[in-house]
Structure 1
Amino acid sequence: MFTLAHAATWLVVGLIGGSLAGMLVKGRKAGFGLLANVGLGCAGAVIGGALFAMLGLFPGLETIIISLRDVVAALVGSLVVLAALWLWSARRAS
């Protein structure tokens, strides 16, 4: 069951993962900005968590803790989201 603790954990992990992805891609400390970083990170946390679950990597991602493995999953998922957005915008432009 999804609880308020899950939502709070996802927001924190999403903020960290989205900020790291923004810093890697943009090369600036602020990344894309607070709200965009949170949105990107939360989407990345969902995608990264699903991807890692399908591949059998980092078991126990569904627990309510903030750990390095959760941040890594959110970062990888955020980078996948950014790559998909880049491909979509490049395809749309041509």
Structure 2
Amino acid sequence: MLITFDQIIVWIIVGLLGGSLAGLLAKGEKRGFGVWKNLGLGLAGALVGGLLFRLLGLLQSLDGVTISLRDVIAAFVGSILVLLALWLKGRFAPAQ
């Protein structure tokens, strides 16, 4: 599978949306962790969520070059899983 420039742009947008939602949920602040950390979290979350959803057969057709609610949900779920893994390792402290 060849990755196109369009797919990278979609991943960035979806990752930023998913990471921002996860940051908002985790920190309880409008900005979450800030633009760059939200983007990194969202990209990691999009990767984790996309792989998880593909393995479980959930929300088919995540490979498209479109931005849909399915993609944002996958990135959000993956971002939450990444935050949970970081929290379990002791590198992340939830909002106090």
- TM-score over 0.5 for the pair: yes
Runs of 4+ in 1 over 2 A off after TM superposition: none
CA deviation digits over 1:38-83, x for unaligned, max 9?
Answer: 0000000000000000000000001111000000000000000000
Which sections of structure 1, spanning at least 5 residues, go unmatched?
none
**Structure 1 residues 10-25: aligned runs within 5 Å:** 10-25=11-26
Secondary structure of residue in 2 paired with 1:43: helix
Shift of 1:89: 1.3
Scaled by the length of structure 2, what TM-score is found?
Answer: 0.92
Superposition deviation, residue 13 in structure 1 = 0.1
Pairwise CA RMSD: 0.8
CA–CA separation in structure 2 for the residues paired with 1:29 and 1:67: 22
The equivalent of 1:61 in structure 2 is 62
**In the comparison of the two structures, how many residue pairs are matched?**
90
Unmatched runs of 5 consecutive residues or more in structure 2: 92-96
Q: Give me the whole-angstrom Cα distance separating, in 1, the residues matched to 2:26 and 2:85.
A: 13
Q: Which amino acid aligns with 1:50?
A: L
Q: TM-score, length-normalised on structure 1? A: 0.94
| Matching of residue 26 in structure 1 with residue 27 in structure 2 | yes
CA drift at 1:31:
0.2
Higher percent of residues as helix: 1
Percent of aligned positions with the same letter in both sequences? 56
